[in-house]
Structure 1
């Protein structure tokens, strides 16, 4: 909202564009008519693109976004699994790096029923101790831990975190879809 307010004084057309992206982000993130515990990658990607559009406006040239996504890929997954990873990469990685950096969203089909989603950044990185801490039950921020618990429950896998201080972080998840998991989403 602060970005939109600032833009309204400087560039009304850009403020309108960012407001439209923010509206899409809210609509897609909080679709209360769909009570399904399942979403699709395409829907989640739309949320991520809207979020990134807003963040690109905020960070300007300090944020470069790279997409490496298999063509025509789509699969079921729990909702809001990807956007928080992207948000963390920006907030805790790029936002803490002088001069900014890049984030990369990767989505690949590994087998007929297995997909890999990875969010990489060349931001601040973290120590091995911090990597273990953020997924532990006693950690006070619930974002990654919540994603990890839902990933275990719905997909039988866990987040994998690779990070090096001052180099960057990669967080990946494996999504297992079986025919019985292919639920139609409205």
Structure 2
């Protein structure tokens, strides 16, 4: 019994350490210096071009984005807060990409009060932009949906980007495949955090087709 207790203590310590590391990685994924630089650069350009309305919208979204990131609190937040956060992020990106990017958010009202992990949608949307639709011709679209299904919550991030090959799709959640790719690490970290906090039945599921787009299912427990 003593040996078993010691093993449980060691296991619990390792899990807590892993959680702290995942929280740090999540924060680092959000506070991306390149994203901040590009956003500020866009604000300066719009100010010089006298696009005052866009300056106000982007600056306001950026302020809310960073207020969310530096605020102290638990890793678990309401889905409403997470949706508000991704809305601010995509608002900034839509203005930056002018008429080349649009997005929609369709999340059922009856799950907005439920709990989720902080910063799970931004890395997925960022991945869609920089790997899926940045090099696509025509209008780029990102659609985020959310609903309750089978006593779980299903969020989806859907884009109409270039898609992935079967080989890349098979390895998209492999840490080894994402070591040299900061965007990929962000996606892998989201998947690992969800499993660590909620169990192996939760996490990310990718579907993709070349020249059609990519869909990411985000499975969460139903925590009222």
Q: TM-score range by the shorter chain?
A: 0.7 to 0.9
Cα distance in structure 1, aligned partners of 2:69 and 2:85: 7
Aligned partner (choices 207, 216, 221) of residue 162 of structure 1: 207
Per the TM alignment, residue 114 of structure 1 is displaced from its structure 2 partner at its CA by 1.1
Match of 1:143 in 2: 186
Q: Aligned equivalents of 1:167 and 1:90: distance in 2?
A: 14
| Rounded Cα–Cα distance in structure 2 between residues aligned with 1:170 and 1:94 | 13
SS at match of 2:136: coil
| 1:38 paired residue number | 76
Post-superposition shift, 1:16?
2.1
Q: Does 1:12 align with 2:52?
A: yes
Runs of 4+ in 1 over 4 A off after TM superposition: none
Deviation at 1:18, TM superposition (A): 0.9
Matches within 5 A, 1:23-102: 23-31=63-71, 33-34=72-73, 36-74=74-112, 75-102=114-141
Conserved 8 A contact 2:162-2:212: yes
Question: Highest CA radius of gyration, 1 or 2?
Answer: 2
| Secondary structure of 2:203's aligned partner | coil
What is the CA–CA distance in structure 1 between the aligned matches of 2:48 and 2:216, rounded to whole Å?
37
How many Å apart are 1:148 and its aligned residue? 0.6
Note the aligned Cα RMSD (angstroms). Answer: 1.5
- Alpha-carbon separation, structure 1, partners of 2:41 and 2:158: 26
Q: 1: CA distance between counterparts of 2:104 and 2:152?
A: 22
Give how far 1:29 is off.
Answer: 2.4
Structure with greater helix share of residues? 2
Instruction: Provide the rounded CA distance (Å) in 2 between the counterparts of 1:171 and 1:129.
Output: 17
Task: After TM superposition, give the deviation of residue 175 of structure 1 in Å.
Answer: 0.4
Structure 1 residue 78: deviation in Å?
A: 1.1
Select between 114-123 and 5-14 the one with higher mean Cα deviation: 5-14
Distance of 1:102 and 1:2 partners within structure 2:
23
TM-score, normalised with respect to structure 1: 0.88
Q: CA deviation at 1:12?
A: 2.7
TM score, norm. by length of structure 2: 0.74
Correspondence 1:175 to 2:220: yes
> Unaligned stretches of 5+ in structure 2?
1-39
SS class of match (1:134): coil
Contact 1:100 1:123 (8 Å CA) reproduced: no
Q: Does 1:132 align with 2:165?
A: no
Aligned length, in residue pairs: 176
- What is the deviation of 1:63? 1.2
